[in-house]
């Protein structure tokens, strides 16, 4: 299955097999894995933020609130808007802010 891109998530060590044109987050969900938290899947909420460690990716539109131009330049991105172009490595950030009721 050489047409699959293999993307390693550094914190968990999980390796995700991503189809061409498939987002990293979508591939993770398809394989029943949970190494990156899943939010809106639309580039809006920032829950699935990762840092690209190595490899090449295409980027879809994502909220500038969660990934500023500067951050993007430093390899930060939302996994739901990250389309691998080859074997690569990312690291989950886990920055989501939770609502108050569950914080007790």
Kindly list the residues in this chain that would bind another protein in the complex (CB under 8 A): 37-45, 47, 61-65, 96-102, 104
Q: Do the bridges between strand 76-78 and strand 57-59 make them parallel or antiparallel, or are there none, so unpaired?
A: unpaired
**Smallest separation, CB 69 to another protein (Å):** 10
Cβ closest to another protein, residue 2 vs residue 32: 32
**Smallest separation, CB 92 to another protein (Å):** 14
Cβ closest to another protein, residue 6 vs residue 33: 33
Cβ closest to another protein, residue 42 vs residue 86: 42
**Which residues are CB-neighbours of 42 under 8 A, at least 6 positions away?**
80
**Smallest separation, CB 42 to another protein (Å):** 3
Distance CA 43, CA 63 (A): 6
Task: Give the DSSP letter of residue 98.
Answer: P
- Whether the Cβ atoms of residue 40 and residue 24 lie closer than 8 Å to each other: no
């Amino acid at each position: 299955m050489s047409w699959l891109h293999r993307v390693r998530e550094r914190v968990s060590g999980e390796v995700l097999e991503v189809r061409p044109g498939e987002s990293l987050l979508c591939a993770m969900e398809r394989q029943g894995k949970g190494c990156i938290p899943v939010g809106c899947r639309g580039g809006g909420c920032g829950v699935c933020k990762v840092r690209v460690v190595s490899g090449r990716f295409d980027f879809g539109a994502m909220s500038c609130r969660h990934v500023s131009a500067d951050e993007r330049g430093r390899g930060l991105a939302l996994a739901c808007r990250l389309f691998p172009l080859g074997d690569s490595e990312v690291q989950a950030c886990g920055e989501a802010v939770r609502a108050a009721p569950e914080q007790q």
